[in-house]
Amino acid sequence: MERLTLDVNGCFDPAAEGLDRGDLAGVAAAALGAFDGFQARREKGELGFADLPADAATADATERLAKDLGGRFENLLVLGIGGSSLGGRAIVSALAHPFHNLLPRERRGAMRIFFPDNSDPATFEALLGTLDLADTCFATVTKSGGTAETMSQHLALRARCIARFGEEGYRERCVLVTDPAKGALREIARAEGLRALPVPANVGGRFSALSAVGLLPAAAAGVDVAELLAGASAMEARCRTGDVLGNPALLYAAALHLMDRRRGRRIHVLMPYADALRDTGDWFVQLWAESLGKRPDVGPTPFRAVGATDQHSSLQLMVEGPQDKVVTLVRVASPRADLSLSVPEGYRRFGEIAYLDGHTMGELLEAERRATDAALRKAGRPTISITLPRLDARAMGELLMLLELATAYAGGLYGVNAFDQPGVEAGKRYAQGLLGRPGFEQYRDELAGAAKPDPALVLA
């Protein structure tokens, strides 16, 4: 069976001030240590994301719930933020029709899915004002069970549902995805008799794409969840060695780590040549940033671009700007669709476009990807290539697991814990203090006591 390919030759290209096999040999022991460290935590039950593809019970329960909701409602709102939104959105946008929500039900064959994500009331109010609430249900997704942005959306929607359909109508429309035992949302599930799917206690937000967090919206959008998990499982099986040249995720982590530490290339760009993977880029940015940005001297900066669109935007910076980036180009070998181009007789005199004649749009995109790779390397900029045989559920499962495992190993290589996010928690505490949460007064007071702004620096 065809499978995902990782090619790091572009990091070993002398033209791109590349690494050499000695660098790789030099990092082998550290890579093995990162692998062993991850496996040890996994075996102790501390880290569960790599075991999610084997959790058939949750996958079944999730599919059953999605089917039930799909049989009764047209729209599913996924209320969540950060890791509780990005993974599901990445999967749905990669695998559903690009205009899924615009298709009539008979062509869509599944629910319309919305990820409001942010707690910007302007967007949320507009969304609620657009959808028919009678035909809408919602999944409130928060691992911790109390994230303010998510719970504010939940409260707003709960109030509207109760006002319009009564308590029972609200219960029919609301499902929860949260920690199996802890947190306010788990208590709410018990108190209100709501259906709730678990996020295993040892799976953190940004590593939860293959739990019910991502599987519920995926199943509701008609994604083949079994194939998604099979792809993730196949990648996990390929990554069961601490040999850097045998484990794709370890090689990816080691190449990026070496490029950062030995060549100062600390901006890591993910640039898929597929619109459907745009949201996967956003998901990767969160995964890499929140997992690895842990000390003033540790934190490669992830950046998302999309080919060919960003060839007309940030590529100039990548080719001629500071020598601080590694660009991972993601290619889909067999696109889902293609369009043949024919330049009409009357247009042939316009030499600038005549060469397009007889080609397809897919050939153009692929030529652009190859050209970008060559231009970057020629300018001394390292690249990595990931090729998916096609963009289907299996390949998407492979890609997600590759990047999650690479992040875990990179944490080991950098010597940081990739699985916490104290910086995010600090911001949450200040916001809760400002909103008057009892016990959080010190954070509000700290902000009140902060240095007053210099009026000379404020132009009103």
Q: Which residues are catalytic?
A: 290, 312, 428
Secondary structure (DSSP) of 150-216: HHHHHHHHHHHHHHHHHHHHHHHHEEEEE-SS-SHHHHHHHHHT-EEEE--TT--GGG-TTSHHHHH
Cβ closer to ligand PA5: 242 or 302?
302
In angstroms, what is the minimal distance from the CB of 117 to ligand PA5?
Answer: 10
Interacting span for ligand PA5 (CB under 6 A) from 21-29, 116-124, 141-149, 397-405 = 141-149
| Helical spans, DSSP H, in 239-356 | 248-263, 278-292, 315-320, 351-354
Residues 178, 142 contacting (CB under 8 angstroms): yes
Which of 81-89, 275-283, 312-320, 366-374 is the region at the interface with ligand PA5 (rule: CB under 6 A)?
A: 81-89
Rule CB under 6 A: is residue 294 a binding residue for ligand PA5?
Answer: no
State the Cα–Cα distance between residues 197 and 416, nearest whole angstrom: 31
Q: Which is nearer to ligand PA5, 273 or 409 (CB)?
A: 409
Told to check if 150 binds ligand PA5 by CB under 6 A, we report yes
Q: Using the rule CB under 6 A, is 117 a contact of ligand PA5?
A: no
**Segment interacting with ligand PA5 (CB under 6 A) among 44-52, 126-134, 144-152, 366-374:** 144-152
Site of tokens 């008057």: 436
When asked if residue 142 is in the footprint of ligand PA5 (CB under 6 A), the reply is: yes
For every residue of 352-408, DSSP letters joined together read: HHHTTTT-BHHHHHHHHHHHHHHHHHHTT--EEEEEEEESSHHHHHHHHHHHHHHHH
Q: Would strands 5-7 and 383-390 be described as parallel, antiparallel, or unpaired? A: antiparallel
CA 176 centroid distance within chain: 21
Residue closest to ligand PA5 when measured from CB atoms: 205
Count of other CB atoms within 10 angstroms of residue 171: 16
# binding residues, ligand PA5 (CB under 6 A): 15
Using the rule CB under 6 A, is 272 a contact of ligand PA5?
Answer: no
* Candidates 126-134, 199-207, 241-249, 377-385; binding stretch for ligand PA5 (CB under 6 A): 199-207
Site for ligand PA5 in 82-111 (CB under 6 A): 82-84
CB of 157 to ligand PA5, least distance (A): 16
**Nearest approach, Cβ of 143 to ligand PA5 (angstroms)?**
4
Closer residue to ligand PA5 in complex, CB, 18/82: 82
Cα–Cα distance, 247 to 260 (Å, whole number): 20
Identity (one letter) of the amino acid at 226?
A
Q: For residue 85, what is the DSSP state?
A: T
**Binding residue for ligand PA5, selected from 144, 211, 247, 372, defined by CB under 6 A:** 144
CA of residue 387 relative to chain centroid, distance: 18
> Which residue in 38, 73, 421, 443 binds ligand PA5 (CB under 6 A)?
421
Nearest to 365 by CA among 256, 277, 282: 277
State yes or no: residue 285 binds ligand PA5 (CB under 6 A). no
Give the nearest distance from C-beta 144 to ligand PA5 in angstroms.
3
Tell me which residues touch ligand PA5 (CB under 6 A): 81-84, 142-144, 147, 150, 204-206, 290, 421, 424
